[in-house]
Structure 1
Amino acid sequence: MNRLIIFFLFSISIVGCKNKTYNEEQDKIIDGDFYKNNDAADLNKNGIDLSKSGDLKKGRESFLKALEIEPNNPTTLSNLGLNYYLTEDYDNAIKYYKESYKTSDSTYHIAAVNLGLTYYYNEEFDKGIEITNYVINNAQHDEVLSSAYVHRALNFLGNNRCDDAQADLNYIIKNFKRENNVEYHINDLKKRIKNCVQHRL
């Protein structure tokens, strides 16, 4: 797997929170070298550090400066999307995730996974299911796939499709239980699915 510098959101447990923040148990950074220009890479890293520390405005400024140097870098575009997501500006988050995915010729699946989660929070569940289906059908790496299944299950729950969410949870348990932070998501989905079924009764 190409290891990329990203601020990769696996978060699913913050529905209803007004101030989303970086959480070590939920969010993940993967280090690597996807940059042609060292200054752009440094600015992206600075944006990650600032965003993780809670200074989202300065983090955003750093990502924008990185994009001035490498305007079509999918990693920075995705990180900028996440930065907007954390401020609950879902329209801009969606815009930058889509741009990241487009510039990568639909191969930067991390942006699509985060896009699926953002659609969930924006209550665009059908779009969330569509994009996570695409990732599930095209990605190969378990880390990305496990997150895509989690985010698709959330969107199924948003559409009150409890049985489909349960099927995704069963698949996650069978195939991805050893992936980082998956146990957290398994427990969270179990609670959400139980509430979904009770709500339907």
Structure 2
Amino acid sequence: MTHVPIHGARRVAGALALALGALFLTAPSSPAADLDADAAAAGAIDNIAPTAHYDVPCRKGLVCQTDNATLTYYMDSGGGNKLEADDKATVRDVLNSEYAPTDLSVSYDSSPSWSGDAETDIYYSEGTVSGSDDGFTYCENPASGIYKCDQQYIKIEPGYWSYGLTCHETGHAVGLLHGMDSQPTVGAQDSRLGCMKKSVGGEGLGDNNKRNINSVY
């Protein structure tokens, strides 16, 4: 509050009025407003489905939100699609370091469910990915919520289980999008996208993606 000097008895009432006025004019904003202001100041972008540039109901094969904040996952452990020990370590590291600190509640499901109301949310497997990409995320079972998916499949090519790519594909499984689908649209390699860059290195989620996850979940 600005200090108003008082130079005489006749100035007291006026000073009190000015001080009270200043108090109401400079009342603190709400925490939500502060967060919005901080996001705007940081040049935040909305890159979690749906956006103005990606407003489509969830169906098989699309990027969708997961069905709720409780995020369970399973890593294939047998046959031709199993993850090796170092691949599993990478997945655990990404989930624990990047996603668990958000408003998502992350846990491993050692007895996965493939049907019903409590399906395991993300299934990680290893195998050949068509096209030029090294990994992909696929909504296997759309949920009743218009933008939500009950179960997501993630497949990554052998030898490509990097921290950044695992973070990227997991990001798609909770609804995070590329720059072309964000609001406003940004370049595919915009630094605010973190591990959601189209060509990703060792990036993690970053502040913008974490903010978007928390806004939804």
TM-score by length of 1: 0.27
TM-score by length of 2: 0.25
Q: Which structure features the higher share of strand residues? A: 2
Relative contact order: is structure 1 or structure 2 higher (C-alpha 8 Å, sep ≥ 6)?
2
